[in-house]
Structure 1
């Protein structure tokens, strides 16, 4: 356990003892979650590109969470503790994956997966009325301008502080600063960057508000800055129109405006523009908008949408996968999420000039008497990708994602869940890397078993 984590635990233990255990312990929750995952990435043969090794690995992730209540008084104090361990179960050196592209499990000195890795963090928290402050090393934001990734074995976490206030009716204010991030397959915290950046920033600041204008309409506005990389403004609108019992129509509009900050564009602070065109090489300059419409009827949900990435450069989001760590080997850094539907299993559809049409159909089989069973099918098609020469050409790409989930609702396996995900990606876009002239076609499979035990 880090000294900072230990100090947090000692501080709050003293506060809890002085103020009394009521609330702090009585309202606490503790859980242990198990995630067993088989991950397969099948790189397809493709003209002009050397075929990369396929990746096939299995691992077990264990995640302990303790979430306390608050001590009594005008200012209540609490502590959240999170500890995780990843255990490699199989795959072998030839199927581990190579370079920073492997974010499923850390790499050992011989190029194989390490046997295990772990990380522990904690957040000290304080609450006054409906305003809550958290400071620590286990923060997991889920905001339009930053989404903690949980797409592999264990979740990404951030170090820093946040404040959220709901004291004003119908408003939720969020603000904060993060100084480092620990990726979804790493024991270590590192600086933050964009794709292509090798020098980590230690300052990601944000502020924003969600305004519930009516019971059916929510408006959002956020600003964020990753020092020496980018500034980003976000505006969003979510409206749900009730049509009848068990029937609704949802509108979800999102707009991002991103620009360069500080040293962005200099050596070490480059943005690779997702392998596509950039008006100013290595710099952030982008406007992206997307619109999604979802019709729900009973167990059926049909979503259709369109996304447009600006012509001057690719859409940008935080990713610390290339930051130098001094350990001389890929250490599981990398892996990130962003607040667009096109953040799919394999691809992101986020290159300059790219227009993407997408849709998803999902069904909840509880309507057929099988509670806990759900399925979804999604398809995305991106076109008009801007070439390195700045022309809108014929390059295109598509991805097909499918998933089926089942959670046992009763009996000795109650709460045990299984998920099968499958994705296929194909494209003819030429990237900026001369040694890898095409983005590799891939087929990906993930088989996941989940179980969470809650301590009474």
Structure 2
């Protein structure tokens, strides 16, 4: 009954999106500035754990699902302070799954251990704008260096709380906020937030909190080619974190050279629900772009007694983190080589392809895995991506993306992975 109510609510929201142009409004600009999109996402995910054997071990996760993401954002009412509302509706539908193939991150599982037939969320955020400052309260999808927008499965995770963004000074962006709960990327409800250190989710016991606080500043200068940032985050009673970054882009003839350097410093916080935490993480990325060619080399180093902490089931902007392996174990050192090509340079717009290889070693396995044997951990990963967006005809704007991953390690599970994703977005308003 609950799922039926959520689906009906999402259907009602879609109807509202179509009807909004004729709705009565409180002030000019509320509807005139409104936008509405509906994204259909078809997602196949297969992950083979090639080194897991035995009757009680799941050696493969494989599911296929259909998702819908509705976004309806109003404009602002007139006046010195403008008001508006943002609506976000999400629906996931099972197309294929099985009792021995669950936990891909596409679908939640029920009490019987099987994937549910469907799940959905519907949330809204009230917003207010004064000059170049905007306040939002409600259902939010933040994209921050300390809490990255992790849209890596069927539906993106969301957070419930408040955020403020101010750009009153040219080039300077100030942000701050507090989240009181979170909705996981494969869950309909919301709840307290938990942490993940390296690749190990910390989900047991009472290690959960209803406070994530953050504040940050980014300053762009040098005609927007250089930017520097400083951030603070607190997952209350679990960890606190500081982040410093600098980015630069430099045109040189037909080339564009780039650099991205960042440093995290993380410690335990308050009641220390996960005990003492000591982690520092540094990364650097050097890139070069010429025509359709893009090259990148990255180096990342993890210091301290523990693996890198973050809010559970979120990725981070660590230089060598990818959605399969994190390369964020205690004391880990890793290198990345990446190449991408945009075939528009050859007269085939919409077609892109890329490959990256990451290798890491020096992992303190005992600290990374929370105990057990202690030896040097090593791992590597190769990702191959290809995507195409149709440029014309009946399928115009439909995007197709395929990914193949091979990941190997001497201290964690080996993975062979395939993803196939279809995306189409309707512009409703």
TM-score by length of 2: 0.89
Aligned partner of 1:25 in structure 2 is 31
Cα offset, 1:345, TM superposition: 2.7
Q: Is 1:239 matched with 2:238?
A: no
Aligned partner of 1:299 in structure 2 is 292
Q: How many angstroms apart in 2 are the aligned matches of 1:53 and 1:387?
A: 22
SS at 1:337 equivalent: coil
Q: Is 1:254 matched with 2:262?
A: yes
Q: How many angstroms apart in 1 are the aligned matches of 2:383 and 2:374?
A: 27
Paired residues of 1:424 and 1:443 also in contact (CA < 8 A): yes
Cα offset, 1:19, TM superposition: 3.9
> 111, 114, 123: which one pairs with 2:113?
111
Aligned partner of 1:143 in structure 2 is 144
- Shift in alpha-carbon separation, 1:379–1:389, aligned structure 2, 3 A: closer
Structure 1 stretches (4+) deviating beyond 6 angstroms? 47-50, 389-392
Q: Judge which range, 170-179 or 51-60, deviates more.
A: 51-60
Q: How many angstroms apart in 1 are the aligned matches of 2:271 and 2:58?
A: 33
Aligned partner of 1:125 in structure 2 is 127
Q: How many angstroms apart in 2 are the aligned matches of 1:451 and 1:239?
A: 33
Q: How many angstroms apart in 2 are the aligned matches of 1:359 and 1:77?
A: 46
Q: Is 1:454 matched with 2:427?
A: yes
Paired residues of 2:40 and 2:425 also in contact (CA < 8 A): yes
Cα offset, 1:393, TM superposition: 4.8
Runs of 5+ consecutive residues of structure 2 not aligned to the other structure: 197-201
Q: Is 1:84 matched with 2:93?
A: no
Aligned partner of 1:360 in structure 2 is 338
Aligned partner of 1:329 in structure 2 is none
Aligned partner of 1:170 in structure 2 is 171
Cα offset, 1:108, TM superposition: 1.8
Runs of 5+ consecutive residues of structure 1 not aligned to the other structure: 271-281, 320-334, 430-438
- Shift in alpha-carbon separation, 1:201–1:394, aligned structure 2, 3 A: closer
> 60, 63, 68: which one pairs with 1:54?
60
Give deviations 1:243-277, integer Å, cap 9, x for gaps. 124x210000000000010122xxxx22xxxxxxx
Cα offset, 1:197, TM superposition: 4.2
Q: Is 1:381 matched with 2:359?
A: yes
Matched ranges for 1:174-193 at <5 A: 174-193=175-194
Q: How many angstroms apart in 2 are the aligned matches of 1:114 and 1:392?
A: 39
Aligned partner of 1:274 in structure 2 is none
- Shift in alpha-carbon separation, 1:207–1:368, aligned structure 2, 3 A: same
- Shift in alpha-carbon separation, 1:17–1:133, aligned structure 2, 3 A: farther
Q: How many angstroms apart in 2 are the aligned matches of 1:64 and 1:418?
A: 20
Paired residues of 1:84 and 1:154 also in contact (CA < 8 A): yes
- Shift in alpha-carbon separation, 1:223–1:403, aligned structure 2, 3 A: same
Paired residues of 1:34 and 1:450 also in contact (CA < 8 A): yes
Aligned residue pairs: how many? Answer: 401
Aligned partner of 1:69 in structure 2 is 75
Cα offset, 1:51, TM superposition: 5.0
Q: How many angstroms apart in 1 are the aligned matches of 2:32 and 2:168?
A: 24
Aligned partner of 1:435 in structure 2 is none
SS at 1:45 equivalent: coil
Paired residues of 1:64 and 1:84 also in contact (CA < 8 A): yes
Aligned partner of 1:159 in structure 2 is 160
Q: How many angstroms apart in 2 are the aligned matches of 1:289 and 1:122?
A: 37
Q: How many angstroms apart in 2 are the aligned matches of 1:17 and 1:168?
A: 36
Paired residues of 1:249 and 1:294 also in contact (CA < 8 A): yes
> 216, 225, 239: which one pairs with 2:234?
225
Q: How many angstroms apart in 2 are the aligned matches of 1:206 and 1:389?
A: 27
> 81, 89, 94: which one pairs with 2:100?
94
- Shift in alpha-carbon separation, 1:208–1:217, aligned structure 2, 3 A: same
Cα offset, 1:389, TM superposition: 7.7
Which has a greater percent of strand?
2
Cα offset, 1:343, TM superposition: 2.2
Q: How many angstroms apart in 2 are the aligned matches of 1:169 and 1:389?
A: 44
Q: How many angstroms apart in 1 are the aligned matches of 2:262 and 2:314?
A: 19
Q: Is 1:288 matched with 2:289?
A: no
Paired residues of 1:349 and 1:382 also in contact (CA < 8 A): yes
